[in-house]
Structure 1
Amino acid sequence: MFKNRIWGLLLTAIFMFTLGCKEEVKNTNTATNAKKVVETVIDSIIEPKVEKPVFKSLEGIADTTFVRLADYSDGFAYDLRYATDNNFLKEQVYDCGECYTRAKTVKALLKANEEFKKHGVKIKFYDCYRPNSVQYKMWKIVPNPQYVANPVKGSIHNKGGAVDITLVTLDDEEVKMPSDFDFFGKRAYHDNFDLPQDILDNRKLLKETMEKYGFWSTRTEWWHYNLQGASHDPIANFKWDCE
């Protein structure tokens, strides 16, 4: 309806302008006025404002409840690697990619992300909560506790308190980090300082900001962060639906 009305006005204005041009010798004001009408209509051809999405509130939700992060903010980016074969397992182990985690973890992530935005960057997720059944899949592929937590004991990912992340600009451009996700070597260690200064600065920003909002890092994986106290939560096997 909006577009039809605008185009109707535009066609009318164009007709008046054309008519005015033909009669310009007889009435110069007609052409001038018609031209102004055309310019006014063109200036008014804009799309209606798109309403901002309405996000859910965490108020009243128990800290241990599993929630979908995208329901509470659109300020994050995602590259959920285990929903693809672009990971060290070389296999897809999630049926579909979603970032679920416990509400208390989401609260901390939202606060950290607001801090990151002040620096012109935001969080991008590689992995979030991981059902214990997926941990068993990973263990079957790589049964080595150096790379995969034994599913019997479980990972903090299985408890909804761990995230694997990096930073991207607000326009979703990659920020340089020491290595790719799931690179198991010295280059990924936090105590490796044999790196370009810009990479060291990016890693430092990620680490210090996450620690400020209640997360602690893993020495050998620059991307991995655990929420303080999350290790005391039970292992979970909650599974989300794939649409």
Structure 2
Amino acid sequence: MKNLILLLFLTSISLPSFSQNNSLPEGFVHLKEVIPDIVIDLRYAGNNNFTGKPLPGYNSLEVITTKQAALALSKVQQELELQGYCLKIFDAYRPQRAVDQFMEWARKPEDTIMKKAFYPSVKKENLFELGYIATKSGHSRGSTLDLTIIDINSGEEMDMGSSYDFFGEISHLNTSQITDDQRNNRKLLKAVMSKYGFRSYSEEWWHFTLRNEPFPNTYFDFVIE
């Protein structure tokens, strides 16, 4: 009976509406227009990231995605809210200039101010080789998201076993270094994201890309504002 009620609720949901913002390329939206109650912690717009400083192209705390990704994510949010949870998003569309800045940062071995918090067991010079930093990012195509789940009442993040953007094996989706509760939290996030069309990334529990993304070969560089 409970499952039937849930099914009826989900099938009766109308898709969110949004206006076309002329400052965005065709096919993109500000996520808050589609999911007003999503929690935003846009890490690369501030200092709490592995570089220790805001990245170029992040001119505001607006989260931008493709329309298709936003609409799919709204279904994720609606289902999680029925279970007492909510999405918290760390990053979505990422300008190519920000990715370029990652590469510049990686070439400065002396700049390790955030090493203890984000990559304590990894040598900075190995970040390229290990795949933590690349010259291109799926985020720049607009349909890749970094996110987690929070308790809808307390606002506390669910314990996933490692923090966002932590470089190490413990952040791998199926690592053996986490507890059963932490693993179950990751499974919940992966299951609901997969249900609505997102594929996961094995080395980062927070990273998801929309299947059949609309711009699979285009890396955008417009600023976030």
- TM-score under structure 1 normalisation? 0.69
Count residues with an aligned counterpart: 183
Which residue does the alignment assign to 2:151?
169
Which residue does the alignment assign to 1:122?
86
Partner Cα separation in structure 1 for residue 44 and residue 105 of structure 2: 13
Say if 2:199 is the partner of 1:237: no
Which residue does the alignment assign to 2:138?
156
Which residue does the alignment assign to 2:162?
179
Which residue does the alignment assign to 1:45?
none
Q: Among residues 67, 88, 104, which one is paired with 2:50 in the alignment?
A: 88
Q: Among residues 70, 93, 97, which one is paired with 2:32 in the alignment?
A: 70
Partner Cα separation in structure 1 for residue 102 and residue 69 of structure 2: 23
Q: Does the 8 Å CA contact 1:123/1:168 hold for their aligned counterparts?
A: yes
Q: In the alignment, residue 57 of structure 1 is paired with which amino acid?
A: S
- TM-score under structure 2 normalisation? 0.75
Percent pairwise identity: 32
Unaligned runs of 5+ in 2: 1-14, 108-126
**What are the Cα deviations for residues 8-62 of structure 1, in whole angstroms up to 9, with x where unaligned?**
xxxxxxxxxxxxxxxxxxxxxxxxxxxxxxxxxxxxxxxxxxxxxxx9714999x
Unaligned runs of 5+ in 1: 1-54
Q: In the alignment, residue 108 of structure 1 is paired with which amino acid?
A: A
Superposition CA RMSD, Å: 2.3
Partner Cα separation in structure 2 for residue 215 and residue 64 of structure 1: 22
Deviation at 1:181, TM superposition (A): 0.6
Q: Does the 8 Å CA contact 1:82/1:97 hold for their aligned counterparts?
A: no
The secondary structure found in structure 1 opposite 2:50 is coil
Deviation at 1:207, TM superposition (A): 0.6
Deviation at 1:90, TM superposition (A): 1.6
Q: Does the 8 Å CA contact 1:69/1:106 hold for their aligned counterparts?
A: yes
Partner Cα separation in structure 2 for residue 158 and residue 239 of structure 1: 11
Q: Among residues 205, 215, 218, which one is paired with 1:222 in the alignment?
A: 205
The secondary structure found in structure 2 opposite 1:178 is coil
Partner Cα separation in structure 2 for residue 58 and residue 225 of structure 1: 23
**What are the Cα deviations for residues 196-238 of structure 1, in whole angstroms up to 9, with x where unaligned?**
2221111100011111111111111001001112362411112
Partner Cα separation in structure 2 for residue 195 and residue 181 of structure 1: 15
Counterparts of 1:46-61 in structure 2 under 5 Å?
A: 57-58=17-18
Counterparts of 1:133-152 in structure 2 under 5 Å?
A: 133-142=97-106, 144-145=127-128, 146-150=131-135
Q: In the alignment, residue 43 of structure 2 is paired with which amino acid?
A: R
Q: Does the 8 Å CA contact 1:193/1:200 hold for their aligned counterparts?
A: no
The secondary structure found in structure 2 opposite 1:167 is strand
Flag the structure with higher helix content. 1
Partner Cα separation in structure 1 for residue 28 and residue 46 of structure 2: 23
Which residue does the alignment assign to 1:8?
none
Deviation at 1:130, TM superposition (A): 0.5
Which residue does the alignment assign to 1:43?
none
Deviation at 1:132, TM superposition (A): 1.1
**Structure whose alpha-carbon radius of gyration is higher:** 1
Partner Cα separation in structure 1 for residue 209 and residue 142 of structure 2: 9
Partner Cα separation in structure 2 for residue 237 and residue 229 of structure 1: 21
Q: In the alignment, residue 134 of structure 2 is paired with which amino acid?
A: A
